[in-house]
Structure 1
Amino acid sequence: MTQGTDTNMNSRPQIKVPATYMRGGTSKGVFFNVADLPASMQAPGRVRDQVLLRVIGSPDQYGKQTDGMGGATSSTSKTVLVSQSTQADHDVDYLFGQVSIDKPVVDWSGNCGNLSAAVGPFAIAQGMLDAGRLPDNGIVEVKIWQANIAKTIVASVPIKDGEVQEIGDFELDGVTFPAAEIELAFMDPAAGDGDLFPTGNIVDDLAVEGHGVFLATMINAGIPTIFVNAADLGFSGKELQSDINSDASLLTKLEAIRLSGALQMGLANTLQEASASQHTPKLAFVAPADSYTASSGKLVDREEIDLLVRAMSMGQLHHAMMGTAAVAISVAAAVPGSLVNLACGGGNRNAVRFGHPSGTLKVGASASLVDGKWQASKAVMSRSARILMEGSVRVPASAFD
């Protein structure tokens, strides 16, 4: 017998599962139409998570996800389930699973704003919208129920010759090739039913054991996010991935800040509980606008932007900006006195352009003070999406056991 071979278990044929591999914004993920899934995957539970882990190639102690569809980064270790909507006046339900690279965990705690851009095009390609709604040429609005956070996203998807237009001249920093623009409107973007500022304060003192006290704006918009000043971390705000992701002690410090913020925001009761969710909350640091060279070699001039923002995702500095964190940035910028707003120079704002490691991004939001509490009605940004491959993924039968 060949070493490592179990003829009783490991020789079973793989199971084909219909799937589509898509880019949405600066992320990639494996998309599934729930109606096409085996019955054991259509409901939450152990089997569904096992199969998705195996599809992506996790957990991988080598950190490469070589034996799966994942790309060994937080931006490419993602899964999406789309179904006909259970909600009135919505087209589809969208459920996002962030797959850990090195742990047997699928995190269902939050949304992916980047892949949100691909949900509408996927739904149309799958025939999940009434064909009579699609113009020969024009825009169709796809109303999406984001099931992780129970919120509505409206995607304005361009149609050309009766099909989704994927190729165009819209350029998105962090994506090499231009594509067609998709506008996303995140309605009532405060995650869940919680307050926009769960601590009740626009700025808090965040005590982090072993590391000191940091000024922090902790906001519940798009995805719960903790903003701190780059200068308080000894940063300029112009950092790229190579400046941070190879420094283990620095990553440990940043994770400690994130976990302490999770406790103060009421997202967990213990540090151990907080560490179980790598996806939520996010940690970002901000600084006033300044010129820098992006990861592509492109010069970003300080006059092009309102502020600098860098964000951590799944324990690493993100190569661009998570879509959900961009929502948090836009809403926080609209609230006078927040650290994000102050980094912009203060004042009233309904849109902001920020610099991230790959370039710049413009986002808009409206926020208002109602009965003593800040509320946000909508956040808007543009993304693009493209089908990269469609057909089936093959999954070892043991993942269904």
Structure 2
Amino acid sequence: MASTAQIKIPATYMRGGTSKGVFFLRDDLPEAAQTPGAARDTLLLRVIGSPDPYAKQIDGMGGATSSTSKTVILSKSEKADHDVDYLFGQVAIDKPFVDWSGNCGNLSAAVGPFAISNGLVDPARIPRNGVAVVRIWQANIGKTIIAHVPMTDGAVQETGDFELDGVTFPAAEVQLEFMDPAADEEGAGGSMFPTGNLVDELDVPGVGTFTATMINAGIPTIFVNARDIGYTGSELQDAINSDPKALSMFETIRAYGAVRMGLIGTVEEAATRQHTPKVAFVAAPAEYLSSSGKRVTTADTDLLVRAMSMGKLHHAMMGTAAVAIGTAAAIPGTLVNLAAGGGERSAVRFGHPSGTLRVGAEAVLVDGEWQVKKAIMSRSARVLMEGWVRVPGNSF
């Protein structure tokens, strides 16, 4: 039987926020995978262990969830006034598909630390002690992210006492600023509200007609009221992920919402765009037990939010969706803002399945259009393993 030798590719396995993924320097990839195309996608699928009909990703680095089936490619930035170019690939678990249509806000927290440690940032701009400011160009959506990375004795500080619900152990805080977060998604016209409305009536065949806020900020997101689709907003993962009818309903909402947002032309195209848009449902504060058993009270939150990612309820909250939540909350009249009590606000703390998260954003109305200059949140990041990943030499 013929055999093919494996090849070694330098890689770093990192946690960023409540996600983790395999990080590569672009120039370390095989030449055929250094540019977009089938070779790159096939290589990353093999690294992660997809497609896997068993949905376990046993023969790869993936963890069989949307939060752990992720890849990142970084290079010294080609954009003026930026340090690093950041490209994110969301790898499907059971399909031969890598989605490049959006960012990962959680892994964004790991980009700055990786860039510093791998020589992508000018050493003159890195303090020996203090906070290094890393200017990131998010290549998927064409946006700037500013990461504030703590430094101790000339090295990235990874340990600390910053706690993030959804992450077991404390670590060092990395503050992220998502600049001008309204996403310039192809077909969305660059508008924060692609339909022109803060709230729309969304007609979803087989599901019903209900109000929705559809926003491009951080990542295209469709917000609906929990009560309109039969939920309270305090659900944990098993309540939805163990229910095939519920999962089908959310995917149908996502498909029809994507068409209304101008992201796709037909509902059938949604299958080729799994990472975006997201679907989230909101509710007023209520008491519940988080997935860790921690009690979340009404005093702890301004609203409750649950969000779907790659067809499943997320265990915490996607970072980009948190940007969308903070942005929508800052704009009076959106469903997110109304669930939080309405009115003007520059920050919200929302409840998610793993606990709570605070995100800030300031919105201004300019010539009849809402604008948000930046959204701010804190995450943490840590190197889990570094060295090489191996893949069969004929796998791409």
Per the shorter chain, which TM-score range? over 0.9
The CA deviation string for residues 11-64 of structure 1, in whole angstroms up to 9 with x for no partner, is: 111010000000000000000011222211110011110000000000000000
User: Aligned residue for 1:3?
Assistant: none
Residue of structure 2 in register with 1:258 after alignment: 254
1:16 and 2:3 correspond: no
Deviations along 1:212-233, one digit per CA (max 9) or x if unpaired, are 1010000000000000000001
Q: Does 1:374 align with 2:370?
A: yes
SS at match of 2:45: helix
Q: Deviations over 1:263-287 (max 9, x none)?
A: 0000000111122111000000000
CA shift digits 1:137-156 (9 cap, x unpaired): 10010000000000000000
2:196 corresponds to 1:204: no
How far, CA to CA, are the matches of 1:130 and 1:372 in structure 2?
41
Amino acid at match of 1:152: T
Q: Distance in 1 between matches of 2:127 and 2:116?
A: 12
Q: One-letter code of the match for 1:72?
A: A
Runs of 5+ unmatched residues, structure 1: 1-5
Helix, strand or coil at the partner of 1:399? coil
User: Counterparts of 2:93 and 2:196 in 1: how far apart (Å)?
Assistant: 35
Aligned partner letter, 1:341: N
In 2, distance between residues paired with 1:139 and 1:47?
Answer: 38
Match of 1:230 in 2: 226
- What is the TM-score when the length of structure 2 is the normalising length? 0.98
Query: How far did residue 134 of structure 1 move?
Result: 1.7
Query: 2:372 and 2:35 mapped to 1: Cα distance?
Result: 32
Match of 2:43 in 1: 51
For 2:121, the equivalent position in structure 1 comes to 129
The one-letter code sitting in structure 2 at the alignment partner of 1:35 is D
Q: Is the 8 A contact 1:330 1:364 kept in 2?
A: yes
Q: Tell me, yes or no, if the aligned pair for 1:267 and 1:274 is still in contact at 8 Å.
A: no
Partner of 2:111: 119
Q: Which runs of 4+ in 1 moved over 3 A?
A: none
Other structure's SS at 1:58 match: coil
Deviation at 1:132, TM superposition (A): 2.3
**Distance (whole Å) between structure 1 residues aligned to residue 274 and residue 125 of structure 2:** 39
Of residues 315-324 and 31-40 in structure 1, the stretch that sits farther from structure 2 once superposed is 31-40
Question: What is the alpha-carbon distance in structure 2 between the residues aligned to residue 250 and residue 388 of structure 1?
Answer: 34
Q: Is the 8 A contact 1:245 1:251 kept in 2?
A: yes
2:328: which partner in 1?
A: 332
Could you give the per-residue CA deviations for residues 367-392 of structure 1, whole angstroms, max 9, x where no partner exists? 11111111111000000000000000
Looking at structure 1, the residues matched to 305 and 29 of structure 2 have their Cα atoms a distance apart, in angstroms, of: 39
CA distance in 2, matches of 1:254, 1:15: 40
Quick check: 1:347 aligned with 2:343? yes
1:387 corresponds to which residue? Answer: 383
Match of 1:71 among 52, 56, 63: 63
Pair 1:217 & 2:209 matched? no
CA distance in 2, matches of 1:212, 1:276: 24
Distance in structure 2 (CA, Å) of the matches to 1:277 and 1:102: 14
Structure 1 counterpart SS, 2:349: strand
Question: 1:323: which partner in 2?
Answer: 319
Equivalent of 2:80 in 79, 84, 88 = 88
Instruction: Give 3-state SS (helix, strand or coil) of 1:260's partner.
Output: helix
Q: 2 CA distance for matches of 1:211 and 1:357?
A: 24
SS in 1 for 2:249: helix
- The answer on 1:162 being equivalent to 2:158 is no
Structure 2: runs of 5+ lacking an equivalent: none
Q: TM-score, normalised by structure 1?
A: 0.97
Residue in structure 1 matched with residue 361 of structure 2 by the alignment: 365
For the residues of structure 2 that align with 1:19 and 1:219, how far apart are their CA atoms? 35
Query: For each residue in 1:345-370, what CA deviation from the matched residue of structure 2 results, as whole angstroms up to 9, or x when unmatched?
Result: 00000000000000000000011111
Pairs aligned (count): 392
**Residue in 1 aligned with 2:292?**
296
